[in-house]
Amino acid sequence: MMDFSGFENSRLDSLPSLYKFHTNADVLRLDLMHPVISGNKWFKLKEYFKEAINLRKTNIITYGGAYSNHLVATAAFAQASRLKSTGLVRGERPAQLSPTILQAEQFGMKIIFLSREDYKRKIVPPSLAEHYTNDENYLINEGGYGMAGAQGAKAIMEEVDTSAYTHIVAAVGTGTTLAGLISAAANKQHIIGISVLKNNLSVEKEIKDLLPNEKINFTLLYDFHFGGYAKYTPELISFMNDWYTETGIPSDFVYTGKLFYAAKELIVNNFFPKQSKLLIIHSGGLQGNRSLPPGKLIFQ
Ligand SMILES: *Cc1c(COP(=O)(O)O)cnc(C)c1O
């Protein structure tokens, strides 16, 4: 049914340049798995698609912004699953479509732009009824937020043997991925989420809502957003270039650039107790860098 022949394995990269800070840190390279359904999106989407297929749904509907990794990953996943997809995108249709939207269309996604008001209210436009009946539609929340997403993300902890790590660090958008990591972690492991949104204080509750009640042992850090969602500064871009030179690992400016910046700051400032062993989750998202002006990144 599904054609995922293009998939590669993830792997662990160690970070010898951090040994001088007495820290053992590895990066789980989920970004290597697929160029579009990259990183955490494969894990977050797979349970939704399983359910949609079980229910014999034929059209996947979801919401996203013009640069949304979630939107384009959903489009690619739908095509690989031989399902149709509809993307409801925030804002007026621009004269020049973003690379992300163009690629989603190439994967067969039908794109409908919603006014900011309609987007906020998460309406499904009545015009969609001309193409699909309600019985055919399967809705995935904006950003893939939800129980099935968290359930799928638990499998990230099984990609490699994660039992020896004391701390696991990951970027947080909706928090669905973090919820999966928290549920899969052993009691002694500490999960740390780096929020990439400004004033994202509701995310703690949103994560807790996805967790079985006994598991609430995690920390969210809110000071690494660089101005807000998809915002960046010259400092972030130059960090991403230096990080690539130092480690050979590319990052994206929306999520993983901020994640690696935070991880390094924490390490340098002795946030982690001695003998800690860190696992940093590279959640992918490199496609998003196409919305940067060319020439900013040395690894694109
Ligand atoms: C979507 C995304 C995230 C955020 O995942 P959530 O489950 O929404 O917190 C993190 N990193 C990358 C690269 C992403 O594309």
pLDDT in tens, 22-32: 889 999 999 99
Question: Residue 136's Cα: distance from chain center in Å?
Answer: 27
In sequence order, the β-bridge partners of residue 193 are: 170, 220
In sequence order, the β-bridge partners of residue 14 are: 26
DSSP characters over 237-268: HHHHHHHHHHHS----TTTHHHHHHHHHHHHH
Q: Which helix (H) or strand (E) segment is 44 a member of?
A: helix 40-54
* pTM summary value: 0.95
Q: Is 39 in the pocket of ligand 1 (CB under 6 A)?
A: yes
Coil/strand/helix, residue 295: coil
CB 33 within 8 A of CB 39: yes
Instruction: Give the pLDDT confidence of 211-250 residue by residue, as tens digits.
Output: 977 667 899 999 999 999 999 999 999 999 999 999 999 9
pLDDT at 212: 78
Q: Where are the alpha helices (DSSP H) in 95-233?
A: 99-106, 116-120, 147-153, 176-184, 203-208
Q: Is 285 in the pocket of ligand 1 (CB under 6 A)?
A: yes
Calpha distance 12→61 (Å, rounded): 34
CB 33 within 8 A of CB 283: no
Among protein residues, the one whose CA lies closest to atom 5 of ligand 1: 173
Instruction: Give the pLDDT confidence of 127-155 residue by residue, as tens digits.
Output: 898 999 989 999 999 999 999 999 999 99
DSSP characters over 4-36: -TT-----EEE-GGGGGGT-EEEEEEGGGS-SS
For ligand 1, pick from 30, 38, 40 the residue to mutate: most ligand atoms within 8 Å of CB. Answer: 40
Confidence of residue 289 (pLDDT cuts 50, 70, 90): very high
Among protein residues, the one whose CA lies closest to atom 13 of ligand 1: 285
How far does the centroid of ligand 1 lie from the alpha carbon of residue 144, in Å? 9
Q: Is 59 in the pocket of ligand 1 (CB under 6 A)?
A: no
Q: Is 171 in the pocket of ligand 1 (CB under 6 A)?
A: yes
Confidence of residue 8 (pLDDT cuts 50, 70, 90): confident
How far does the centroid of ligand 1 lie from the alpha carbon of residue 96, in Å? 25
For ligand 1, pick from 145, 255, 282 the residue to mutate: most ligand atoms within 8 Å of CB. Answer: 255
Quickly tell me which residue has 């509750």 as its tokens.
205
Calpha distance 10→197 (Å, rounded): 27
Q: Read off the tokens for 262.
A: 């935070």
Helices vs. strands in the chain: H and E counts, helices first: 9, 10
Q: Is the pLDDT of residue 1 over 60?
A: no
How far does the centroid of ligand 1 lie from the alpha carbon of residue 158, in Å? 18
